[in-house]
A = this chain, B = another copy of it.
Amino acid sequence: MRFLHTADWHVGKNLNGFDLLADQQAVFKQIEGIAKERQVDAVVIAGDLYDRSIPSEAAVRQLNGELVQLNLTDHFPVLAISGNHDSATRLGTGASWFAKEGLYLNTSLDDAFDPVTIGDTEFFLLPYFGIQAVRNHFGDDAIRDVNTAITRIVAAMQEHFTPGKHHVLVAHFFAAGSQHTADSETLIEVGGLQAVATTTLAPFDYVALGHLHNRDALHDDRVRYSGSPMKFSVSEANQEKGVWIIDTDPFTAEWVPLAPVHDIHRLTGAFADLVADDYHPRDDFYDIELTDHERIPDVLNKLREHYPKIVSLHRTHAARQIDTNHARARRQQSPTDLLADFYQQTMGIDLTDTQLKWASDALSAVNDGEEE
């Protein structure tokens, strides 16, 4: 059997205020195209279908339309779970009807142990869970960490394994050994979940993970993140996005990249060079770092004439936190030396001789005034 593994669609997410729905729909069409072209037997979506527990009506309409297309129009079986960004209750509404048409959407830990069988493979759909749900399920308050929880869950799933079938786990958590860099996943959530040791997952032929947006966050042949289908933060600017095509017999995993509609770029340079640059596509998203020292009036609006979709703007030589130690030593410095130190610490460069002269003259004038 062959299936497509994707995750972290975050339908309805915005990027620093920019609506991504149209881009998300375009990327969905690419995923649908890959599923058709590769003639997969199922599509796996490993959690975070929505970006928020109460998505906007526009987001609800779009995800509903996408699932109608995949499942009812294209007739793909779809295997999906809720992630930490989804409301299990809201996302799970209607799931009893969906399953009758082959859209298996599980949002409840209690329903994770009864696999969905498609072809030669049993799929176990494990939604994002809290430790308390695991304690409740097993009636065991001694379960206190995620690895104990996962060990118990996997053992219970193994009891339902049909020999001779392949076994795939679809899950949404932070796997140990993975590198976490993206800021579009909430660090608290990652920390709160702790890290699942991949050795615990060995009974499965494949583990289709969601949660981290970078497929390179983990390197394990049989335990993979698909990552998000598009970039959702500046920290993901250099990541390649795509989906996995998994074959179960023999096992192969093939990466199929997805093309961004509007890419995210990090640009570093002087204002004059950036506004003269006609290489970068106007409608992409930009994180811009200005190397200029001077104040540039109305700089954001001026940059927007060339880069309408700036998601963040910073300066290499931004005013920095000053060193507030050594107060005693400072009292012995002259006012001009103090000013020169302050300027150097906050701006990262020294005052020029001319600037020093201005400062010195101004201080003298003030002192003269005091003596009048």
Using CB atoms and an 8 Å cutoff, list the residues of chain A in contact with chain B.
54, 57, 60-61, 64, 68, 71-72, 87, 89-90, 92-94, 96-98, 100-101, 103
With A64-B93, A68-B96 already in contact, 15 other A-B pairs whose C-beta atoms are closer than 8 Å = A54-B54, A57-B89, A57-B90, A60-B89, A60-B90, A64-B96, A72-B97, A93-B93, A93-B94, A94-B94, A94-B97, A97-B97, A97-B100, A97-B101, A97-B103
**Residue of chain B at shortest CB distance from A63:** B93
CB proximity of A347 to chain B, nearest CB, Å = 49
Expressed in whole angstroms, the Cα–Cα distance for A314 and B71 within the complex equals 57
Could you write out 16 A-B pairs with CB less than 8 Å apart? Answer: A54-B54, A57-B87, A57-B89, A57-B90, A61-B89, A64-B92, A64-B93, A64-B94, A64-B96, A71-B97, A93-B93, A93-B94, A94-B98, A97-B101, A97-B103, A100-B101
Q: State how many angstroms separate the Cβ of A312 from the closest Cβ of chain B.
A: 31
* 3 residue pairs, one from A and one from B, having the closest CB atoms: A94-B94, A57-B89, A97-B97
A88 to chain B, nearest CB (A): 9
> How many angstroms between the C-alpha atoms of A231 and B38 in the bound complex?
57
Min distance, Cβ A53 to any Cβ of chain B, angstroms? 8
Q: How far is the CA of A68 from the CA of B93 in the complex (A)?
A: 10
Please tell me which one of the listed residues B72, B93, B97, B100 contacts residue A60 in the complex, with CB atoms under 8 A apart: B93
Closest Cβ–Cβ distance, residue A232 to chain B (whole Å): 23
CB distance from A372 to the nearest CB of B (A): 60
- Complex CA gap A100/B96 in Å reads 12
A100 to B94, CA, bound (A): 12
Shortest Cβ gap from A82 to chain B (Å): 12
Distance in angstroms between the alpha carbons of A72 and B98 in the assembled complex: 12
A93 to chain B: which residues have CB within 8 Å?
Answer: 60, 64, 93-94
On chain B, the residues within 8 Å of A96 by CB distance are 64, 68, 72
Residues of B contacting A68 in the complex (Cβ-Cβ under 8 angstroms): 96
CA distance A103 to B101 in the complex (A): 14
Chain B residues whose C-beta falls within 8 Å of the C-beta of A90 in the assembled complex: 57, 60
What is the distance, in angstroms, from A19's C-beta to the closest C-beta of chain B? 16
In the bound complex, residues from chain B placing their C-beta under 8 Å from that of A64 are: 92-94, 96
Bound together, the chains give a CA A118 to CA B46 distance in angstroms of 39
